[in-house]
Amino acid sequence: MHRLLGGLVAAVALAAACSGGGDGDASDTTLDPANTTTTAPPLPTAEELCDGAAAVSGPTATVAQPALVETSGIAESRENDNLIWAHNDSGGNPELFAVGMDGSDRGRWAVPGATAVDWEDMARGHGEEGVDRLYMADIGDNSAQRSNVVVYRGTEPEVPAGAAGGMLADVEALTLSYADGPRDAETLLADPVSGDLFVVSKQLVGRPGAYRIPAGAEPGGTITMARVADVGVDDSTLVTGGDVSLDGSVVALRTYTSVLLFPRADDETVSDALAGTPCEAPAPVEVQGEALAFDPDGRGYVTISEGANPAIHHFRLP
């Protein structure tokens, strides 16, 4: 099994108003067998992905949309086949780009009522009536001075063939603060088991922290995020993105040069998993790697870098 590299120096449905306590809430407890199926095979483990995933053979797809030049967050769709949602970094508009797995432009989708100070990551999570919701994290704060950050959520739209774009429906904003003061962050994780959301800090000094927003949070007022774990990586490891597998059994974090996979046991929370030891999965060489998303079947993952017409790097098990 590939092991964790040394620290790098250079750097879920959301919900219940956060109580400033730890993550002992029942909504972030164990993997729920009800969320698994009896007909589908189990998703691969972190070790299986670390040991066996490889770059998909054939020509590498590149992003055709010319306006997507600072890809900072991505999420693979389950509502639309072979589609990736993506957004730009700071300076971009409050919008999502629909990108085909082949790099094709599937339109620009506005997020009404949102602003974009420094969008850094996004996640896909379960919504009501079986329709997924998309979560966009305006959490970037290079100087660690923002008193509040925001996560937006909206219903994932259907993207028909030939669509030029549109807008997300039912958009809401959750205003957030950190219990231990402002932090820079570039990672949003949605737990498909508990419905909790987690923000992982990006720190030049010390270990990154995981901050929890319990399932059930609603707009209105400021939700205080408690630090529920120190991530099991070396000090000064700069975390730039992440995702959680469909069944919640693998938590992935992206750094500028690596993909780290944390196994999550049946009796563990996401924060328990993040406090553990990851294995290192294959990662591409990218100009500025900040975005990662699991395939819906859990057998692979996609990364995309910043830059004009970036490559869509796809790694999967055979």
Q: Beta strands 119-125 and 71-76: pairing type?
A: unpaired
Distance of CA 200 to the CA centre of its chain: 10
Cβ contacts of 81 within 8 Å, gap of 6 or more: none
Cβ contacts of 314 within 8 Å, gap of 6 or more: 55, 56, 61, 101, 300, 301, 302
Q: Beta strands 105-110 and 119-125: pairing type?
A: unpaired
Token pair listed for 189: 């994780």
- Whole-number pLDDT of residue 39: 59
Q: How far is residue 233's CA from residue 313's CA, in Å, rounded to a whole number? A: 24
Only one residue has tokens 């737990």, namely 191
Q: Which of these, 199, 191, 136, 196, lies nearest to 168 by C-alpha position?
A: 136
Domain 26-33+43-316 has CATH 2.120.10: yes
Handedness of CA 135, 138, 139, 142 (dihedral sign): positive
Only one residue has tokens 């639309």, namely 80
User: Residue-wise pLDDT tens for the chain (318 aa)?
Assistant: 433 333 333 333 333 333 334 444 434 444 544 444 445 678 999 999 999 999 999 999 999 999 999 999 999 999 999 999 999 998 889 999 999 999 999 999 999 999 999 999 999 998 766 778 999 999 999 999 999 999 999 999 999 988 899 999 999 999 999 999 999 999 999 999 999 999 999 999 999 999 999 998 999 999 999 999 999 999 999 999 999 999 999 999 999 999 999 999 999 999 999 999 999 999 999 999 999 999 999 999 999 999 999 999 999 999
Report how far apart, in Å, the C-alpha atoms of 163 and of each of 83, 98, 167, 291 are. Answer: 13, 10, 12, 24
Q: Which of these, 5, 49, 38, lies nearest to 299 by C-alpha position?
A: 49
**Spans of all domains in the chain:** 26-33+43-316
